[in-house]
Amino acid sequence: MNTVWVLGDQLNRHLGALADADPTTDRVLIIESTAKVTSKRWHVQRAHFVIASMRRFADELSAAGFEVDHRRSRSLADGFREHVDEFEPDEVIATEPASWDGLELFRDLGVTTVRSNQFLCHYQDFADWADGRNRLRMEDFYRWQRKRLGYLMDQDGEPVGGRWNFDDENREPPPGDESDPWAAPQTSRLDELDREVLADLDDVAFDNGGELWGTAPDGTWATTRRAALSRLRHFVDEVLPRFGPHEDAMVRRSWHLAHSTLSPYMNIGLLLPGEVCDAVQDAYDDGRVPLNSAEGFIRQVIGWREYVWGVYWLWMPEYRSANVLGADRALPPVFSGAASTEMNCVDHCLSTLHSKAYNHHIQRLMVLGNLAMLHGVDPWAMTTWMWSTFIDGAEWVMLPNVIGMSQWADGGRMATKPYAAGGNYIDTMSDYCGDCRFDRTQRVGDDACPFTTLYWDFLDRHHDRLVSNPRIARQVRAAEQLSDLDAVRSRAAVVRDRLDVGDL
């Protein structure tokens, strides 16, 4: 018999090697690796989400007639060798992995790989698209995907509604009233398997010097395909109609707003991007969702998500070490929970992260990522922190989003300018600043907003690199002319020192 090896982010019967597997000729191998569990300080909900989903998927495959060798080993390589010794398969086959290290491991072990269909654009097709282009603009890729895949296209090959992009309708600040227009997410009841997973994770971490953090799972995150499909239906029916306008808003009364929260399921295979986009297209065709909401969501999936996947493979492995701004500070202790903070925005994002293992994209980019870049945190430290902390984390997701977008560590290969902002932006897009102990309008003095201080200091510190960038030159020139620039520099030094010791 052959063995089909299924990794923890390939949990779908329709994926790659498993799609053609047959219980009469193929055995399935699933390995829980101790080394993986202890490799990072994982959020407990993230670790539970993956392991519980793996165990339930193994049960589903057994119920479908497969012999499943589901083993716990010190490492993936050890588990593979133990399996081969015990079962002596004719061949071990696997779907292409979603990480550079995974690909190298499969090569080293002699595993035969089958082309992955976990994304709508294979990374080799992305490389062909990118070939010969001076600049890899996400918008160009997105339009190419729209035409190729046919989402929201009319008969003449033009975008429905006559526009490719409804971004300008999707950046509204939070609604002013206190009503909550966002549907509550579905939840699942935890069962015996969940409790076993949590106990096992505790044991593995304890026995091997690892550490988990965060609030224990509360049923927010589904761990079966059936429950993930139910989350998809709920999103399309109850949430998507409101998805567009407040995409970038941040409010304390809702951790989810109208975000889909479907990315974790797509990232481990419980949902596939095609079926998610098909459901949204159907809802639009039936008149159940407005065009700006449907377009905004489909752009996130076939545009941004697949673009990030493509550039990860195009630029690895060198991309891991990109650091053009020379940022070398450690992650401030507030990020790890070792310190508290009086910055309302940071406190809210980190509290939500602690309780849900989730922040939406603007909280990641414009609060936590922004602070790390302005402070000068080492980009790889920020990448691994986000990877281990968010429910939908993976290297392919976090590397471009952090190195490229939020930290601008690649010098502009992805983003044409750094996403740096002071307190004014956060105030416009959130309800965080009103009763914050700091004053978003002040850049010097004890009450100055740390974002505002560090923003001006960032423009000053990186003057020479940024002044020739037309997208940010005006702000750099404005920083140059500040009458209190010396005071800003002094205050920034104080802010950075206090961030380093968790006293801000």
Residues lying near ligand SF4 in the complex (CB under 6 A) are found at 343-345, 423, 426-427, 432-433, 436, 438, 440, 449-451
232, 270 in Cβ contact below 8 A?
no
Query: Of 250 and 266, which CB lies nearer to ligand SF4 in the complex structure?
Result: 250
Least separation in angstroms between residue 451's CB and ligand SF4 is 5
- β-bridge mates for residue 30, sequence order: 70
β-strands 92-95, 26-33: how paired?
A: unpaired
474 in helix, strand or coil?
Answer: helix
Q: Is the peptide bond before 450 cis (omega within 30 degrees of 0)?
A: no
Query: Of 23 and 502, which CB lies nearer to ligand SF4 in the complex structure?
Result: 502
Query: Of 32 and 427, which CB lies nearer to ligand SF4 in the complex structure?
Result: 427
Least separation in angstroms between residue 244's CB and ligand SF4 is 25
Instruction: Using the CB atoms, write b or e for 242-281: b if 16+ within 10 Å.
Output: bbbbbbbbbbbebbbbbbbbbbbbbbbbbbbbbebbebbb
Query: Of 45 and 344, which CB lies nearer to ligand SF4 in the complex structure?
Result: 344
Least separation in angstroms between residue 176's CB and ligand SF4 is 17
Least separation in angstroms between residue 386's CB and ligand SF4 is 19
Query: Of 5 and 438, which CB lies nearer to ligand SF4 in the complex structure?
Result: 438
Neighbours of 502 (CB within 10 A): 15
Neighbours of 366 (CB within 10 A): 23
Query: Of 295 and 427, which CB lies nearer to ligand SF4 in the complex structure?
Result: 427
User: What are 415's two structure tokens?
Assistant: 């983003």
Query: Of 306 and 427, which CB lies nearer to ligand SF4 in the complex structure?
Result: 427
Least separation in angstroms between residue 439's CB and ligand SF4 is 6
Instruction: Using the CB atoms, write b or e for 157-182: b if 16+ within 10 Å.
Output: eebbeeebbbbebbeebbbeeeeeeb
Least separation in angstroms between residue 93's CB and ligand SF4 is 51
**Phi-psi region for residue 163, left (φ > 0), alpha (ψ -120 to 50) or beta?**
beta
Least separation in angstroms between residue 351's CB and ligand SF4 is 13
